[in-house]
Structure 1
């Protein structure tokens, strides 16, 4: 119960990795706030958290809107009075059919003896794609961090964990330049803010996951041929994706008082990027 009586906010906490993190924090004794744009899964996850004995506040919030973020933090104040832990998990990920095709071309290029060639991505990207990824994945992290620090710095205590990606520190991932740029910005933001606020006893760190074995990813893998799965696994030294519970355990440690890390960017990719 190393997070007993702490108040933790997990953005994008209604499903996938966010849900796994929220459940882990509840299991460690925290009271948990989750926000998401999917109201149905919000209620499902809220019930799961309360079954673990946690007090839970489930809020619909689009983190790309500073107004919605500020309103959410006002509701957190009204319910719990403060915030001790922020996990910036909400993000857009490349999960459309054209992203799948791009992913396959990329993996083929790094695992097979093909002639060198361009993946032809950036020159075809439109403004809307770029701006939407930036709004959620970067602006959202900034808005939530700013609001959290307005509470953490005066109380001289806080933990902020940003969920970046190996796409932000390497050429691996789904190879989506807009996603990589956004996650790279999260990495740089983490280091800058960590240095800024460490003197106020607020610790800021980030993890860079590789693939996460969410239900959606399991569904995706189930649609691939044996040959495609073989190519995919060649870029994974452990031969498998990381489980949500494994990533959640790392986040829980970073959120605890057992953690001495400040400004660290933890490469949690199972060796995909070394």
Structure 2
């Protein structure tokens, strides 16, 4: 264990799998006290093997639940927002219900958690908020990612707005924009695409490989730590050259 986050308290959403899980584990290994949340309680239970014992089921679409858990947890130094859903299709495949669900989970969930945890951060005059966005929608268009890209562009704009409003009050807010990362969710989409699905995802990465959740978590640790104390309002691409 290193001490890059020693003495800090972190709150993480979507921590049962993928990028959220990797970030929660990386924070803990760097000395932070981590409170991990997700709707998948079985996945949360496995975090105990990684030294994370503070866990709770949380639906990030439930405003009352988010406010209640923020009251329970109290002040945190780090807020990592990773909840999200990848809708497949063009505008012709996106119903009003698809649009509302995607924005509710991918963008409004971050509005909820930031609004809930920010007041105590402001009282302490310190806090780092890290939002998981995407290269898609922020830096580049991707086929069949219509509403997903719209939500992730909204996350980047939300991030800059929070950063600008509280830049002089000890609060930093940044977002991470990954390329294609090998997560359970991504592997499920690859399988659904057919026998050549995984190869298709790999082929669009200039480096010839997928990213790993741990690589994204390494950037999250930097943004959560005091090492990045002069960095705020930035959308950080980590995509293996996909947006070049």
Q: What is the distance in 2 between the residues matched to 1:73 and 1:174? A: 37
TM-score under structure 2 length normalisation? 0.92
The match for 1:88 is: 81
Spell out the pairing of 1:35-46 with structure 2 (5 A cutoff).
35-45=37-47
Report the RMSD for the aligned CA atoms in angstroms.
Answer: 1.8
Q: Determine the structure 2 residue equivalent to 1:207.
A: 176
Separation of aligned partners in 1, 2:219 and 2:9? 18
Distance 2:67 2:185 in 1: 30
Aligned pairs for 1:1-274 (under 5 A) are 1-45=3-47, 47-50=48-51, 56-77=53-74, 82-94=75-87, 99=88, 102=89, 121-173=90-142, 175-218=144-187, 221=190, 224-225=194-195, 229-259=198-228, 260-274=230-244
In 2, are the aligned partners of 1:70 and 1:147 still within 8 Å (CA)? yes
Query: Structure 1 residues 173, 12: CA separation in 2 closer, same or farther (over 3 Å shift)?
Result: farther
Between the aligned partners of 1:157 and 1:231, the Cα distance in structure 2 is 43
**Do the aligned partners of residues 60 and 235 (structure 1) sit closer, same or farther apart at CA in structure 2, a change above 3 Å counting?**
same
Q: Residues 255 and 156 (structure 1 numbering): CA distance in 2 closer, same or farther, change over 3 Å?
A: same
Q: Helix, strand or coil for the counterpart of 2:167?
A: helix
CA deviation after TM superposition for structure 1 residue 178, in Å: 1.2
The normalised TM-score by structure 1 is 0.82
Between 1:217-226 and 1:141-150, the stretch displaced more is 217-226
Report the 3-state secondary structure (helix = DSSP H, G, I; strand = E; otherwise coil) of the residue aligned with 1:166: coil
Report the Cα distance in structure 2 between the residues aligned to 1:22 and 1:148, rounded to whole angstroms: 17
Cα drift, residue 92 of structure 1: 1.6
Unaligned runs of 5+ in 1: 103-120
Contact 2:13 2:80 in 1 (8 A): yes
Give yes or no for contact 2:17–2:184 (8 Å, CA) kept in 1. Answer: no
Q: Give the match's secondary structure for 1:133.
A: helix
Contact 2:23–2:220 (CA under 8 A) maintained in structure 1: yes
- Higher gyration radius (CA): 1
Aligned-residue offset at 1:215? 3.5
Residue 170 of structure 1: CA displacement? 3.8
Runs of 5+ unmatched residues, structure 2: none
Compared with structure 1, are the counterparts of its residues 181 and 217 closer, same or farther at alpha carbon in structure 2 (3 Å cutoff)? closer
